[in-house]
Chain A
Amino acid sequence: MNFLIGAFKPACNISITFSDGKSRKQVPMKKENGKTIMVSLFQSKESIAGKVSIEPLQGKKIEHLGVKVELLGQIEMYFDRGNFYDFTSLVRELDVPGDIYERKTYPFEFSTVEMPYETYNGANLRLRYVLKVTVSRNYGGSIVEYQDFMVRNYSPPPSINNSIKMEVGIEDCLHIEFEYNKSKYHLKDVIIGKIYFLLVRIKIKNMDLEIRRRESTGSGANTHVETETLAKFELMDGAPVRGESIPIRLFLSPYELTPTYRNINNKFSVKYYLNLVLVDEEDRRYFKQQEIAIYRQQDS
Chain B
Amino acid sequence: MLNGTEDEEKWLAEGIAGIQHNAFYMHRALDSNNLREALKYSAQMLSELRTSKLSPHKYYELYMRAFDELKRLELFFKDDSKHGVSVVDLYELVQHAGNILPRLYLLCTVGSIYIKSKEAPAKEVLKDLVEMCRGVQHPIRGLFLRSYLAQISRDKLPDIGSEYEGDADTVMDAVDFVLQNFTEMNKLWVRMQHQGPGGVREKREKERSELQDLVGKNLHVLSQIEGVDLEMYKETVLPRVLEQVVNCKDDLAQYYLMDCIIQVFPDEYHLQTLETLLGACPQLQPTVDVKTVLSRLMDRLSNYAASSADVLPEFLQVEAFSKLSNAIGKVIEAQLDMPAVGAITLYVSLLTFTLRVHPDRLDHVDQVLGACVKKLSNIPKLEDSRAMKQVVALLSAPLEKYNDIVTALTLSNYPRVMDHLDIGTNKLMAMVIIQSIMKNNSCISTADKVEVLFELIKGLIKDIDGADVDELDEEDFKEEQNSVARLIHMLYNDEPEEMLKIICIVRKHTMVGGPKRLPFTVSSLVFSALRLLRQLQGQEGDIVGEEASMTPNKNFQLLTQIIESLSAVPSPELALRLYLQCAEAANGCDIEHVAYEFFTQAFVLYEEEIADSKAQVTAIHLIIGTLQRMNVFGVENRDTLTHKATGYSARLLKKADQCRAVYACSHLFWVDDQDGIKDGERVLLCLKRALRIANAAQQMANVARGSGGPVSLFVEILNKYIYFFEKGNKQITSSAIQGLIELINTEMQSDSTNPDSVADAFLASTLRYIQFQKQKGGVMGEKFESIKL
Residue ranges of A at the interface with B (Cβ–Cβ < 8 Å): 206, 231-241, 244-247, 249, 251, 253-254
Contact = CB atoms under 8 A, between A and B. Distances in A.
B137 A236 contact: yes
A181 B134 CA distance: 18
Contact of B135 (A232, A235, A239): A235
Contact of B134 (A245, A251, A253): A245
Contacts of A246: 134-135, 137
A240 B137 CA distance: 6
Interface stretch (B21-29, B95-103, B168-176, B203-211): B95-103
A251 B107 CA distance: 14
Contacts of A241: 137, 187, 191
Contacts of B103: 234
A236 B101 CA distance: 9
A13 to B, nearest CB: 40
A237 B51 CA distance: 11
Contacts of A249: 95, 132
A236 B96 contact: no
B92 A239 contact: no
B100 A244 contact: no
A234 B138 contact: no
A247 B96 contact: no
Contacts of B95: 249, 251
A239 B134 contact: no
Contacts of B40: none
B321 to A, nearest CB: 40
B136 interface: yes
Nearest to B184: A244
Given A239-B137, A241-B191, A247 B100 contact: no
A238 B96 contact: no
Interface in B24-60: 50
A254 B94 CA distance: 11
Contact of A237 (B96, B132, B135): B135
A239 B98 CA distance: 18
Contacts of B195: 239
B37 to A, nearest CB: 16
B137 A237 contact: yes
A249 B136 CA distance: 14
27 contacts: A233-B98, A234-B98, A234-B103, A235-B100, A235-B135, A237-B50, A237-B101, A237-B135, A237-B137, A237-B138, A237-B141, A237-B142, A238-B137, A238-B139, A238-B142, A239-B138, A240-B137, A244-B134, A245-B134, A246-B134, A246-B135, A246-B137, A247-B132, A247-B134, A249-B132, A251-B92, A251-B95
B99 to A, nearest CB: 5
Contacts of B100: 206, 234-237
A244 B96 contact: no
Ranked nearest first, the 6 interchain pairs of A and B with the lowest CB-CB distance are A238-B138, A238-B137, A234-B100, A240-B137, A254-B96, A237-B136
Given A249-B95, A251-B92, A251-B95, A236 B191 contact: no
Contacts of A247: 131-132, 134-135
Nearest to B136: A237
Contacts of B187: 241
Nearest to A249: B95
Nearest to A241: B191
Nearest to A238: B138
Given A234-B100, A237-B100, A254-B96, A244 B137 contact: yes
A231 B137 CA distance: 22
Given A241-B191, A247-B131, A251-B92, A236 B98 contact: no
Contacts of A233: 98
Contacts of A251: 92, 95-96
A279 to B, nearest CB: 13
Interface string B186-203: 010001000100000000
A206 B99 CA distance: 10
B62 to A, nearest CB: 16
Interface in B152-198: 187, 191, 195
A136 B574 CA distance: 155
Interface string B118-139: 0000000000000110111111
Nearest to A243: B187
- Chain A: interface secondary structure? strand
A188 to B, nearest CB: 10
A254 B43 CA distance: 16
B32 to A, nearest CB: 22
Nearest to A190: B92
A236 B92 contact: no
A253 B98 CA distance: 13
Nearest to A239: B137
A236 B195 CA distance: 17
Contact of A236 (B50, B136, B139): B136
A73 B141 CA distance: 54
Interface in B347-380: none
Contacts of A234: 98-100, 103, 135
Nearest to B142: A238
A238 B195 CA distance: 11
Contact of B98 (A232, A238, A240, A245): A232
Contacts of B92: 251
A251 B138 CA distance: 24
Nearest to A206: B100
Q: Name the residue among B92, B96, B101, B137 with the largest chain A CB count within 10 angstroms.
A: B137
Contacts of A206: 100
Contacts of A254: 96
A206 B100 CA distance: 10
Nearest to A254: B96
B250 to A, nearest CB: 13
A235 B98 CA distance: 9
A49 B538 CA distance: 143
A286 B97 CA distance: 23
Contacts of B131: 247
Contacts of B99: 234
B141 A238 contact: yes
Interface string B314-335: 0000000000000000000000
Contacts of A235: 100, 135
Nearest to B133: A247
A236 B136 CA distance: 5
Nearest to A235: B135
A237 B102 CA distance: 11
A240 B139 CA distance: 10
Contacts of A244: 134, 137
A140 to B, nearest CB: 51
Nearest to B194: A241
Contacts of B138: 237-239
A241 B135 CA distance: 12
B408 to A, nearest CB: 54
A237 B98 CA distance: 12
B126 to A, nearest CB: 15
B391 to A, nearest CB: 45
A241 B249 CA distance: 15
A284 B372 CA distance: 59
Contacts of A238: 136-139, 141-142
A14 B407 CA distance: 120
A299 to B, nearest CB: 16
Contacts of B191: 241
A222 B101 CA distance: 44
A234 B141 CA distance: 15
Interface string B134-150: 11111101100000000
A226 B134 CA distance: 35
B43 to A, nearest CB: 12
A245 B187 CA distance: 13
A232 B142 CA distance: 21
B530 to A, nearest CB: 83
Contacts of A231: 98
B569 to A, nearest CB: 78
A42 B26 CA distance: 41
Nearest to A208: B98
B358 to A, nearest CB: 46
